Amino acid sequence: MNKKMILDTRSINTRLLKFRVLIHRYLGINSSLIPFDILLLVKIHDGVQDVTIKSLLAGLSHSQTGVRYHLKRLIAEDWLVLHKGEVDKRNTFVTLTACARRALERAEEQAALEYNEPMQLADLEYPFPSVRT
């Protein structure tokens, strides 16, 4: 059941909702923000420093079980890839796929547009079926 709501975009809560809608639209993330946190952590380090599975688990405040579950899902859905280190083969690194990079860049561009335009009333659809309005 999708209901349209008129939202006052000056509200921080409305801005957060708009951001959540962008996450859903461009990254397909619905019920849990763990996949978003994983993608962001890997994206932040992309091209700067390799992210190991161990550092990923340590860098997020979620349970290891939850992170591992969503990490496996992101790999299966072609968002992330694992590869062994060139120097030390004991390390396994997590890298964004080209598809994930493009999706994150589109989300970033859209977020910049959304938040840089003048504040006005917006007509948004709330895409998350678990919340009743």
Domains and CATH numbers, the chain: 4-125 (1.10.10.10)
What pTM was estimated for this model as a whole? 0.72
Residue 94, class by beta-carbon neighbours within 10 Å (0-12 exposed, 13-18 middle, 19+ buried)?
buried
pLDDT for 69-123, tens place per residue? Answer: 999 999 999 999 999 978 878 889 999 999 999 988 888 888 877 766 543 434 4
Please list, in sequence order, all residues whose beta carbon lies within 8 angstroms of the beta carbon of residue 62, skipping any fewer than 6 positions away.
Answer: 34, 37
